[in-house]
Amino acid sequence: MTSEANGLDVEAQDSPRLQQLIKAAEDIKLAVRRQDGRETPVGTRAMRTRSKLLEAAARLFTERGYLNTSLNDVAQEAGVSLPTIYQYFADRNDIVATLAADHALRMLQAGADDWKPTSGRLGLRRAIAALVTLYAENSPFFSLWQVASHVDERLTNLRRDFENQFRSNFARKLRKGIELGVIRPDLDPVEVARAMNLMVQSYCHDVFVVGARHGDPTPEPDDVIDLLTTLWADAIGLRELSATTGTGTLSHSGGVR
């Protein structure tokens, strides 16, 4: 299957698209106050109230779950009236979208942008570490993100575009690695990027989100990073770039170099 068949342009420069996605996330979390049918920018005092509402909602969503938390619950937790909430948020989905967009901004800049194929396993480990750390430190968000992306079209689009951007960026770098001789030449960069992205996401979600929800023992993030780095590096046949020849040389260490 080719990259064109997937609708991903692995040759395109991803930076402008990344900036568009960041702008989309920023637009979602934009702070405005609605009163008397008008929207006005949020001042310092109002921003404190808005932040208090978001913190209260985040606590309740974590403790009770999104579906079991009402706007009345959020108002009581924050110590404000229900009409006050409607000054800042249109509905419960708007609160979720704002919380999710805030985290999405960090997701959009993690992982792929830090990886250079010529940096070997250490470079790959750093890129994977950025993603694993996000999951390990923000497991409640990822549980919320999963629900929110199905109830708010803005987040559905943001999540889809983010995943396409992430895969496209990795595919472009995989192709560069193939050209430099540090990655197996028989691989389709787009399909490998798709598979590896799903592997990292699914594994981290199961370990840090689902497992934590059920009270399962959580492995150390470093152990997860090492495991995923080994699986990924071995799958793509990642070679260390020779300082003398400028070509890839296979590492037989079996571990992270």
Q: Are residues 203 and 137 in the same domain?
A: yes
Question: Mind giving me the DSSP string for the chain?
Answer: --TGGGT--TTS--HHHHHHHHHHHHHHT--EEEETTEEEE--HHHHHHHHHHHHHHHHHHHHH-STT--HHHHHHHHT--HHHHHHH-SSHHHHHHHHHHHHHHHHTTSSGGG--GGGHHHHHHHHHHHHHHHHHH-HHHHHHHHHHHHH-HHHHHHHHHHHHHHHHHHHHHHHHHHHHTSS-TTS-HHHHHHHHHHHHHHHHIIIIIIHHHTTPPPPPHHHHHHHHHHHHHHHHT-EEEPTTTSSEEE--SSS--
From the number of C-beta atoms within 10 Å of its C-beta (0-12, 13-18, 19+), residue 77 rates as middle
Residues 122 and 166 in one domain: yes
Q: What is the pLDDT of residue 110?
A: 58
Whether residue 125 sits in one domain with residue 15: yes
Both 17 and 114 in one domain: the answer is yes
Same domain for 115 and 135, yes or no, is yes
* Predicted local confidence at residue 8, as pLDDT: 37
Together in a domain, 188 and 209: yes
Per the CB < 8 A criterion, the answer to whether 167 and 223 are in contact is no
Which residue, of 41, 63, 98, is where some domain finishes? 98
Do 43 and 126 have their domain in common?
A: no
pLDDT along the chain (257 residues), means of 10: 37 54 65 66 83 93 86 97 92 83 66 76 91 84 75 76 82 94 96 92 88 84 96 94 53 40
Model pLDDT, residue 99? 82
144 and 214: one domain? yes
191 belongs to a structural domain: yes
pLDDT score of 245:
47
Position 42 in a domain: yes
- Asked if 131 and 220 sit in the same domain, the reply is yes
Residues 150 and 184 in one domain: yes
Residue 255 within any structural domain of the chain: no
Task: Write out the residue range of the structural domain in which residue 165 sits.
Answer: 11-24+103-250
Let me know whether 15 and 86 are in one domain.
no
For the chain, the domain total comes to: 2
CATH of the domain at 162: 1.10.357.10
Does residue 224 form part of some domain? yes
pLDDT score at 257? 37
Last residue of a domain, one of 98, 122, 153: 98
Are residues 59 and 17 both part of a single domain?
Answer: no
